[in-house]
Amino acid sequence: AQSVTQLDSQVPVFEEAPVELRCNYSSSVSVYLFWYVQYPNQGLQLLLKYLSGSTLVKGINGFEAEFNKSQTSFHLRKPSVHISDTAEYFCAVRPTGNQFYFGTGTSLTVIP
């Protein structure tokens, strides 16, 4: 079975500073990769996805992620965070023909 590891459970960062949220997955087979964001008392919203092609994908709210096949990673980045980015972020992996597997989440707190 696939496993997804989000290396940091909590990430505090000052407003307007850059941030990277790390995600590694176990399988080397062909996968689709996703990042979701969850605000308090809400479901998950899709931030971005990697299906194929360019390894750098851009999403909503200024976020981007880079797929690294050799390191089986899909780290999420934002060059300058805002208070409104405070939320829980989930990395998800879907091996082709299979179900979604989610990481345990990273809580991002933006400090004014």
Partner 1 sequence: KAGVTQTPRYLIKTRGQQVTLSCSPISGHRSVSWYQQTPGQGLQFLFEYFSETQRNKGNFPGRFSGRQFSNSRSEMNVSTLELGDSALYLCASSLLGQGSDQPQHFGDGTRLSIL
Shortest spacing between CB 78 and partner 1, in angstroms: 20
CA 23 to chain centre: 6
In the chain, the N- to C-terminal Cα span, in Å, equals 41
Nearer to partner 1, 43 or 112 (CB): 43
Nearer to partner 1, 41 or 54 (CB): 41
Q: Please name the residues in contact with 70: beta carbons below 8 A apart, sequence gap of 6 or more.
A: none
The type of residue at 105 is: G
Where do contacts with partner 1 occur on this chain (CB under 8 A)? 32, 34, 36, 41-46, 49, 51, 90, 94, 96-105
Nearer to partner 1, 4 or 13 (CB): 4
